Amino acid sequence: MHHVVLERWSRGASFLHSRDARVKILVLLAYLVALATTPLTPAAGACYAALLGVAIVAARLPLAGLALRAAAVLPFAGTFALFSLLAGDGARAASLVAKSYLSAAAALALAGTTSMPKLVRALESLGVPRFLTLVIQFLYRYLFVISEQAQHMRLAALARGGGRLRFTHAAGAAATLFGRSYSRAEGIHGAMLARGFHGRMELLADARLGAADVLFLVAGVAAAVALRLMTGAAA
């Protein structure tokens, strides 16, 4: 499954992997804001792509695999780019596709170098409410489990000869999955309480800002600002 690959990528040990997650989020935001406010010419697009490419290579992430995954934005981007093209604005269409694709690839570079618990903890220390980050963590943890259950149910239905479900049968399958998820949640909570859960997920080590983190923050933001200044007036 998709996020299993991300789990593997985020366990790497490059310079980028070991930077503090808060710093990486801030640098990503600087890059995204710079990209979003730039009137994108082909030359500017190439500069942004090059900067991102350097980061991906430095993190030793597979370039082709990442490029393929970032293509998840293309159905949406392509549809609206097509509308632009039909309206006779070819440059706009190209810029829409390029901007959304580069932004998605940049977000993937963050997710590919940061494990989910660290990412969520960083979001929390940047001001996202604890309750929401807790829900995000439970969601991410059980996404896998419940998706697998859904797949088992589909396989079981196929094995019984139900190649194509009827509408009410599909509804029944969804309701069964809902009921199982619901009672699983109750069980999870009981088990967590029994193990001393007090409303917060613990990490093995608390994040500390090192000199390398500060350096990366300054360099990353400076690179984004420099690119932004080089590539023209405000949009």
Partner 1 sequence: MHIPDGFLSTPVWLALDATGLPAIALLARRARRELEEARTPLLGVMGAFVFAAQMINFPVAAGTSAHLVGGALLAIALGPAAATVVMTAILTVQAFVFQDGGILALGANVFNMAIAGVLAAWLPYRLWGRGAHRRAAIFAAGALSVMVSALLAVSELVASRVPVSRAALAFLLVVFGISAVVEGAITVAVVRAIERLSPRVIRQGGTEPSWVLALCGAGAVLLAGAGGLVASTNPDGLQWLGGQLDILGRITNVFTAPLADYRARWLGSPWAAKAAAGSAGALLVGLICVALGRAAARPRSA
Residues 178-207 that bind partner 1 (CB under 8 A): 178-179, 181-186, 188-189, 192, 199
Round to whole Å and give the CA distance between 38 and 191: 51
- C-beta of 62: minimal distance to partner 1 in Å? 16
- C-beta of 31: minimal distance to partner 1 in Å? 10
- The count of other CB atoms within 10 Å of the CB of residue 214 is 12
Round to whole Å and give the CA distance between 21 and 147: 28
| Residue 55 touches partner 1, criterion: CB under 8 A | no
| Residue 41 touches partner 1, criterion: CB under 8 A | no
| Closer residue to partner 1 (CB): 46 or 215 | 46
Q: Kindly identify the residues of this chain, within the stretch 56-85, that bind partner 1 according to CB under 8 A.
A: 69-70, 72-73, 76-77, 80, 83-84
State the DSSP string of 107-119: HHHHHHHS-HHHH
Round to whole Å and give the CA distance between 81 and 93: 4
What is the phi/psi pair of residue 201, to 5°? -85, 135
Round to whole Å and give the CA distance between 142 and 177: 13
CB 226 within 8 A of CB 35: no
Round to whole Å and give the CA distance between 175 and 189: 21
Q: Which stretch binds partner 1 (CB under 8 A): 12-20, 29-37, 55-63, 212-220?
A: 29-37
| Closer residue to partner 1 (CB): 110 or 217 | 110
| Closer residue to partner 1 (CB): 132 or 212 | 132
**Choice from 143, 203, 222, 230 touching partner 1 (CB under 8 A):** 143
| Closer residue to partner 1 (CB): 137 or 231 | 137
**Choice from 125, 147, 162, 221 touching partner 1 (CB under 8 A):** 147
